[in-house]
Structure 1
Amino acid sequence: MAKHLEDGKKGEQLALDFLKRQGYDIITINWRFKHLEVDIIAKEDGILVFVEVKARRSVLYGEPDSFVDWKKQRFLLSAAQAYLSFSGYEGEIRFDIVSVYLGKDFRIELIKDAFWSN
């Protein structure tokens, strides 16, 4: 497996463990519909949360969360709409980003309510 794919899988597992420790109830991981995907779908305090995980070994090209640009946000909004349609969920939702720094300065950062559609 390519190194960046290994890093992605490792980052997702670390993010999943981190979210569980933060009190998130995990509903599903890597939810897919057609070309859409959400890394983690969970609930926290009754809110349905769509989580995008970004793992990087270096910030040479930018912070991990900076890779969740407007195009990726639109993609995630579409995925969330599809999930909501299938699940019938009608409550509050939000979008979080988990940045996993895999390099020598290992750390995990959570950005709650990272973006929203207008």
Structure 2
Amino acid sequence: MAQHNDTGKQGEAAALQYLQDKGYQLLETNYRHQHAEIDLIVQRGKLLIFVEVKTRSNLSFGEPETFVSYAKAQLVMRAAEHYIYARDWQHDIRFDVVAVTITPRGEVKIKHIEDAFC
């Protein structure tokens, strides 16, 4: 497997652990609808949160969260619509980004951005 895939999986695992430590309940990982994928779908009370995880081990080109493009946000929202409709979700939703940085020494730094796009 390519190094970037390993880094991405490590970042998603770290993001999930972070969210679970904060009281979020995991509903889905890597939810797919057509060409879109949502990294994590979690719930906290009556709030459904769709989470895009961005992981970087090198910050030369910017912070991880800056790599969530408008097009990516649109894809996530489209997949979220499908998920909401399929499960007849009747409560609030939110779109978050969890930015994960893995330092050369293997330290993991997490930034949780709530309501990142809508």
Coarse TM-score class (shorter-chain normalised) = over 0.9
CA distance in 2, matches of 1:89, 1:45: 13
- CA RMSD, aligned part only? 1.1
Counting only pairs closer than 5 Å after superposition, residues 21-100 of structure 1 correspond to structure 2 as 21-100=21-100
Structure 1 residue 4 and structure 2 residue 4: aligned?
yes
Runs of 4+ residues over 3 Å off in structure 1: none
**Alpha-carbon distance in structure 1 between the residues aligned to 2:115 and 2:99:** 14
Is the partner of 2:15 in helix, strand or coil? helix
TM-score by length of 2: 0.93
What residue number does 1:107 align with?
109
Over residues 61-115 of structure 1, what are the superposed CA-to-partner deviations in whole Å (9 max), with x where a residue is unaligned?
Answer: 1110111121111111101011112111121100010011011463111001111
Identity rate of aligned residues, in percent? Answer: 39
Matched, 1:18 2:44: no
How far, CA to CA, are the matches of 1:92 and 1:37 in structure 2? Answer: 20
Contact 2:39 2:53 in 1 (8 A): yes
Tell me which amino acid in the other structure corresponds to 1:108: I
Alpha-carbon separation, structure 1, partners of 2:39 and 2:108? 20
Alignment gaps of 5+ in structure 2: none
Where do 5+ consecutive residues of structure 1 fail to align? none
Question: Alignment length, in residue pairs?
Answer: 116
Shift of 1:14: 0.7
Contact 2:25 2:43 in 1 (8 A): yes
Q: Please give the alpha-carbon distance, in whole angstroms, between the structure 2 residues aligned to 1:99 and 1:26.
A: 18
Q: Output the CA distance in 2 between the equivalents of 1:114 and 1:56.
A: 18
Q: CA deviation at 1:34?
A: 2.2
